[in-house]
Chains A and B, each alone.
Chain A
Amino acid sequence: MTIKTASDRPTMIEFREVQKYYGDYHALRGISAEIRAGEFFSLLGPSGCGKTTLLRTIAGFEDISSGAVLIDGKDMSNVPANKRPTNMVFQSYAIFPHLTVAENVGFGLRRDPRSSAEKARAVEEALELVGLKGYGPRAAHAMSGGQRQRVALARALILKPKVLLLDEPMSALDKKIREQMQVELIKLQRELGITFVLVTHDQEEALVMSDRIAVMFDGEIAQLADPETLYRHPNSRRVANFIGVMNFLPARVTAESDSHVALEVPGLGPLEVTPDQVAAQTSGGEATVGFRPETLTLLYEGQTASDREAPGVIDEVVYYGDMTYYDIRLDGVSAPVRISMRNVFGRPVLDVGSRIRVAWSPGALVLFR
């Protein structure tokens, strides 16, 4: 995957030290970030971390306690939600149940000076855009979940907002339709070139769809980066754990220079990493190395590693059809590490208790300090 966003695009949304209190509860703790024009941006984090709250400060539904939100260079402090150049797709879709599909989609055009024929055409175009051509006269409340989402999208897009806000739009859909809608949303965003800001707690969804992702914990942005950087170079163990699976082993720093850090890791032995493999987190204390399950390879009889090897015993086998996960106890380490192996025809799945060797490479490690 390549990085899709050119960093010279202008800024569309800017958060400046945004703080939000609900009574005594500190929901947003000084958010500063920029979202660029035309980018697909995601707010990712566990439940209650403040994603929705942050999204609603863009829409204008939530006034902030201090700081500022700027859209297209303008401070939004005194601009109410109905005057902002943003539109929202709600988690529940908020389809007006007493109106038809066409009336829902055309709702925002009520104050539009165009003739009713032109408005009807705009509605028809919007419906076509989301794949609901001809559904206009239907009762909105009789639509299925996926169709409702399309209606909500068309209704928000018809006003040609600068920013489209989506709050967990996929969470109410079942898996199949969800995956289909993800692809359609990406296409739609590329076609329209509008800035999309998506809230999700599903890391896979964020990785698949976004140009950049802000990972949030406890009202703060822990890391803001493109998907590949987030996956390869998480800046903390917490981010690493939230995005995919990562194995951790304790490490001891033996030597350090400008060009490399030398480590002693039980189970892996002595090794060196380059400074760009060191996570920016400087908490001091214990050092830890982390590595993704797919960066390790299980060696079968007769195979040799191109880089380095470590011996161990299989502790647990989880078979997934196309993949098998092995939990392996490396010699000299008590906690197992997880390895994922693509299943290849003719290669057997190994049993629990087998002694095996594992191939690994120091270049795939991340060092947390």
Chain B
Amino acid sequence: MRFACLATALTVWILSLGAATAFEIEGERHYPAPEGAVTLRIISTADINVFEPIILEFQRQNPGVGIDYVIASSTELMRAIYEEQEPFDLAISSAMDLQTKLANDGFALAYSSFATEALPDWAKWRNQIFAFTQEPAVLVISEADFAGMEPPKTREELISLLRENPDRFAGRIGTYDVRISGAGYLFATQDSRNSDSYWRLTEVMGRLHARLYGGSGDMIRDVASGRLALAYNVVGSYAMSRLPDYPGIRIILFEDYVNVMLRTVLVPVNAPHPSEAGLMVDSLATLDSRPALTERTSLPPVKASGLQENSAARPIRLGPGLLVFLDRLKKQSFLQNWTSSMEQFVR
């Protein structure tokens, strides 16, 4: 995801495209092992400052394992594993559809341990993909714009609110540009599956000249700055982690349904060190049992109870259903529909 690099002020090297690899990376960081010679190569869409605590904790427990952490967008990750078969030990991505395709097409190793067995059924597929975070898609609003007003609780309420107040919201709605964002596409396609109101909402947003974004971080920042009154389908964990910095924003979980995106990990078939990779999978699968660590990463870990707390939560189902929206024709027609709804007027 592109927003991964936005908030980082770390020693992230931007590698030139002239390097040995043809897929594009956004950053890389090396964590050498104090002892031992094994180095795990991880390709991930997660931002380094989010993931670093996990790596450090892992190395504390496994001092013999060095880690090479490479950040790439979900599309580039797909290209690295699927097309170029780069020898990575782990692929971590929030693009559930692409991870599913990797497993379905035979690019993932099966792995099983006590830790993975303990995961709920919806959090794994074929013992090849393992979810370790659950991240709801939320509505982020600016409190100033909703002063003295009840914020919408469902999508229907949001639609009528927007219809009734075109002046207030024109040009001040933010959402993903599903043509460039993997997470945005995933949320949008699941929305279109879950309810008929999605297309009406898209049309309303298009009529009100919604601004399109590539990442959640930018949307949150713009809501906080007052440029946007609301942002639809923001990754909840990012919004939560920014709450302390941006006091003026508020997070709304819809009551009709909440898509929950699962961040997943898989071990590619050509992983050079599958057993050490398995240790990392275990460490991620047991994130829920280490609250001190999750606090530092701001990643909401997978927990079976997390779903019961909110009956509207719908974890996006891993499995072949996710391949449907990756179908060439399906994607083409979905984007066409989306574009024509969103861009009814030339801005």
Chain A bound to chain B? no
